[in-house]
Amino acid sequence: MMNLTRLAQSLSKGLVRAAAALALGFAAARAADFTPAIIYDMGGKFDRSFNQSAYEGAEKFKKDTGLAYREFEITNAAQREQAMVQLARRGAQIILSTGFTQASAVEKAAKQFPNLKFVIIDAVVDLPNVQSINFREQESSFLCGMAAAMISKTGKVGFVGGMDIPLIRKFALGYAEGAKYVNPKAEVFQNMTGTTPAAWNDPTKGAELAKSQFGRGADVVFHAAGATGLGVMQAAKDAGKLSIGCDSNQNYLHPGSVLTSAVKRVDVAVYEAFTAAKNGTWKPGQLMLGLKENGVDFSLDEHNRKLITPGMEAKLKQAKADIISGKLKVSEYRAQ
Amino acid sequence: MSATATKLPRWAELALLPAVNLLAALLLSGVVVKILGESPWAACRLLLGGAFGSQDGLGYTLYYATNFMFTGLAVAVAYHAGLFNIGGEGQAYVGGLGVGLVGLWLGHLPFLVVMPLAILAGAAFGAAWAFIPAWLQARRGSHIVITTIMFNFIAAALMTYLLVNVLIKPGQQSPETREFGPGAAMPAAHELLARIGITFAPSPLNFAFFLALAAAALVWVLVWRTRWGYALRVAGQNQAAAVYAGISPPRIIVQAMLLSGALAGCFGLNELLGSQHRILVDFPGGAGFVGIAVALMGRNHPAGIFLAAVLFGALAQGGSQLSFDMPKINRDTVVVIQGLVILFCGALENVFRGPLAALFRRKEAA
């Protein structure tokens, strides 16, 4: 009898231990199951600009952690909400949406799934489970405007935007202010490519707009136009003029012809949101990334080293420090 | 309605031939999927399962189909008058402005008051947008294909201007209006079904689906059962004969385009009142162009348009499911599959007609 009870005791102890081990194992497996998800907007994953930058951030997360992520590319408005609901149902713990057009869908989905984490880039959704990440694009645009005005011989600089929306006007305003800060008499030509989303992907028209600005005397042109900008930069190279890249660092595209790029670190934002969610340090609320937070910047590398003279660089660095300290104010375009 | 032996029996014409065409398109799509390294069989199951296999999948399919029915009917009506209306996209866009303005200004009123007004406004705005190209065609001979394409761009410019500068909800990035009032929401299908005790998964499918069916019935009656419809078809097939019969082609052109624009303008009832509840940039999202394919595939007949619209709705919904579950199949591959279906059912529809007809002749001879 004694033996039997002891056996039973040891057995039950063993069972408890086994159960505990199993439970631990499950917990570990669940941590490994962490699945972030990303929803690209209409521009598509490979736009060499905004969405692609987000993609690179997600890829870096995958490389560093070995964790796969789910993704979806939107093709029509109704899919935004549908994609979020489906990702939520399939166990994504954090859903990141790129682009302001997804704001209303994020709002609906975040209310429907209050226990999931949502991130929206370039818009604000004020809910307890949403993190809104925005950038002060006007600050990097300001520095690019300065660089353009400093190197321009004609005192005329150009801007080619994609679709005529508040976000792009924000770039244009910062750029013009920067140019005028260096040279109050500077003339800034502004053109928007179009009024449909096709304006983000029309390099031919981008090139034509750049050429017309060169024809009017501009010798530097800045684009904030997604894939349309590739045409702008090509036109600048063909005409022997200078261009300024946008969102990603595009200096490498035409070395010697790209003055600099207004970099927007969407990749860093995506990477950090995923990492924070994985480590349990993710917080909802608004995150505003500017020069100070290294969210935006102008790019300086071996491809444009020869174009930016030490004098220019010093002035740009000074302006950057002044913007960070608040001494220099850049106005922000506000929709009405 | 007896089938003549010269061509195909009627049932084969209406059911077998499209089915064979569809099958050929799916087979070729299967080859594409195979090349991409996924299983064609699994892809097919995902596509069909995604479109029809679940309640919400079916809801999305019919929701997209509603959009395509409005734009498809618009193309068909113009087609019967001998006009190729490529402007469905712009007419739907501007029609949506009419629908949306009713939603914004009168959304506090009860739905039964808002709905007729929204229908009238959408139809009126869409018709107005079609009127100028129609008038130019009727009086000046400016080709309607060219002018309606141009009017798509003008519509986009106008709407972007209004949404960025005038109608935008203040203090936000996205060019879209504030949300409509509560009275301007089309009852969702799952809510309507819940009232009669049937539970249905939530989807954007809404009452506008029935409005689209009603529009299809209306088009059938108008085109095939009225004196006006007869004049429309005569003018469309032979203008000289129409003039000889005392029909004024310019008048018919303008009337047909007004009706066409009005049908496209009702698009906003489904997309805006049914789903988005606000006006946003580029909400037609190409549905106006899909309507052309839907009308051609549906032989410009309301019943055919319904079936073609459901097919394209299924491709849209099943396709998104496919790219969702198979990472190697991205949205561009889905467009390729949709393109193959259009190619086989539209452009190459006569490829299998000859062999099929020969088959039937041999069977009859035996």
What DSSP element (H or E) covers A38? strand A36-40
Q: What is the pLDDT of residue A24?
A: 45
Closest CA to B291 of B99, B98, B96, B86: B86
How high is the mean pLDDT of chain B? Answer: 91
pLDDT in tens, B250-284: 999 999 999 999 999 999 999 999 998 999 888 99
Residue B147 in 3-state DSSP? helix
pLDDT of residue A187: 95
Please spell the DSSP secondary structure of A215-245, one letter per residue: HTT--EEEEE-TTHHHHHHHHHHHTT-EEEE
Structure tokens of A14? 């063993």
Residue A320: the pLDDT is 96
Give me B175's structure tokens: 């060019």
Q: How far apart are CA A302 and CA A300, in angstroms?
A: 7
Using an 8 Å Cβ cutoff, are B77 and B257 in contact? Answer: no
Contact B281 A101 (CB under 8 A): yes
Q: What pLDDT score was predicted for residue A196?
A: 76
Which residues of chain B make contact with A166, given a CB cutoff of 8 A? 164, 168, 172-173, 175
B323 close contact with A: CB closer than 8 A = yes
Do A86 and B160 count as a contact with CB atoms less than 8 A apart? no
Shortest alpha-carbon distance between residue A140 and chain B (Å):
18
Which pLDDT score, from 0 to 100, does residue B3 have? 41
Cβ atoms of A205 and A173 closer than 8 Å: no
- Whether B63 has its CB under 8 Å from any CB of chain A: the answer is yes
| A4 contacts: CB under 8 Å, gap ≥ 6 | none
Q: Are strands A156-163 and A187-194 parallel, antiparallel or unpaired?
A: parallel
Residue A89 near chain B (CB below 8 Å): no
pLDDT single digits (tens) B70-119: 999 999 999 999 999 999 999 999 999 999 999 999 999 999 999 999 99
| pLDDT at residue B337, as a whole number | 87
Query: pLDDT tens, B21-33?
Result: 888 998 999 999 9
Phi, psi (deg, nearest 5) at residue B183: -75, -10
Domain positions in chain B are: 66-301
Q: How far is B158 from chain A (nearest CA, A)?
A: 9
E strand spans, A105-257: 117-121, 130-135, 156-163, 187-194, 220-224, 242-247
CB-nearest partner of A79 from B168, B172, B320: B320
Per-residue confidence (pLDDT) for residue A9, from 0 to 100: 53
pLDDT of residue B170: 82
Q: How high is the pLDDT of residue A195?
A: 80
- B343 alpha carbon, distance to own chain's centre: 17
CB atoms within 10 A of CB B250: 15
B168, A335: Cβ pair inside 8 Å?
A: yes
Q: Answer whether residue B163 shows pLDDT above 50.
A: yes
CA B308 to CA A299: how far, in whole Å? 52
What single DSSP character describes residue A246? E
For residue A253, the one-letter residue type is L
Contacts of A122 in chain B (CB under 8 A): 173
H-helix or E-strand containing A71?
Answer: strand A70-73
C-alpha distances out from residue B67 to A230, B166, B189, B287, B340, Å: 35, 27, 15, 7, 21
Q: How close, in Å, is residue B217 to chain A by CA atoms? A: 27
Measured between alpha carbons, how far apart are the two ends of chain A, in Å? 87
Q: Which residues of A touch B161 (CB under 8 A)?
A: 195
Tell me which residue of A38, A40, A59 sits closest to A50, measured CA to CA: A40
Taking alpha carbons only, the member of A203, A257, A210 closest to residue A231 is A203
Multiple choice CATH, A138-264+306-325, 1.10.3720.10, 2.30.30.140, 3.40.50.970, 3.40.50.2300: 3.40.50.2300
- Nearest-Cα distance to chain A for B227, in Å, is 40
What pLDDT digit, counting tens, does each position of B301-313 carry? 999 999 999 999 9
Strands A258-264 and A296-298: antiparallel
The token pair at B28 is 């070729």
- Mean pLDDT to the nearest integer, B193-204: 90
| Per-residue pLDDT tens digits for B211-237 | 999 999 999 999 999 999 999 999 999
Chain A interface includes B324 (CB < 8 A): yes
Cα–Cα distance for residue pair B319/B329, rounded to 1 Å = 9
Top residue of A196, A332, A333 to mutate, by most chain B CBs within 10 Å, is A196
Quick one: pLDDT at residue B122? 97
In CATH, A34-135+267-289 is 3.40.50.2300: yes
Q: Which segments of B185-248 does DSSP mark as H helices, in order?
A: 189-195, 208-225, 227-237, 239-244
For chain A, how many helices (H) and strands (E)? 10, 12
Contact A36, A93 (CB under 8 A): yes
Which of B153, B164, B180 is the best residue to mutate to test the A interface, defined by the most A CB atoms within 10 Å of its own CB?
B164
pLDDT score recorded for residue B169: 86
Q: What's the rounded Cα separation, in Å, for the pair A335 and A88? A: 32
Residue B236 C-beta-side C-alpha neighbours within 13 Å: 21
The per-residue pLDDT for B17 is 83
Nearest CA to A94 out of A50, A64, A58 is that of A58
Interface A–B counts its CB contacts (< 8 A) at 91
Q: Is B157 in CB contact (< 8 Å) with chain A?
A: yes
Query: For the whole model, what pTM was predicted?
Result: 0.83
Cβ contacts of A195 on chain B, cutoff 8 Å: 156-157, 159-161
Taking CB atoms and an 8 Å limit, are B175 and A165 in contact across chains?
A: yes
CA dist list (Å): A209 to A49, A217, A218, A246, B142: 19, 13, 11, 17, 29
Residue span(s) of chain A under CATH 3.40.50.2300 come to 34-135+267-289, 138-264+306-325
Q: Do B60 and A73 touch (CB under 8 A)?
A: no
Helix (H) or strand (E) holding A269: helix A266-279
What is the 8-class DSSP label of residue A293?
Answer: T
Q: What is the pLDDT at residue A37?
A: 94
**Closest chain A residue to B319, measured at CA:** A75
Q: Mean pLDDT of successive 10-residue segments in chain A (336 residues)? A: 50 51 44 81 77 92 92 84 87 91 89 93 92 94 96 95 88 95 95 85 92 96 92 96 92 93 93 93 92 92 92 95 93 69
CB count within 10 Å of CB B364 equals 9
Nearest chain B residue to A165, by CA: B164
Q: Quick check: B275 and A104 CB within 8 A? A: no
Residue B316 forms contact with A (CB below 8 Å): yes
Assess contact for B334 and B322: CB atoms under 8 A.
yes
Separation of alpha carbons B36 and B327, rounded Å? 11
Q: Are B223 and B237 in contact (CB under 8 A)?
A: no
Using CA atoms, how far apart are residues B12 and B4, in angstroms rounded to an integer? Answer: 12
Q: Which of A86, A103, A166 sits opposite B164 (nearest CB)?
A: A166
Residue in A closest to B317 by C-alpha: A79
**How far does CA B189 lie from the centroid of its chain?**
19
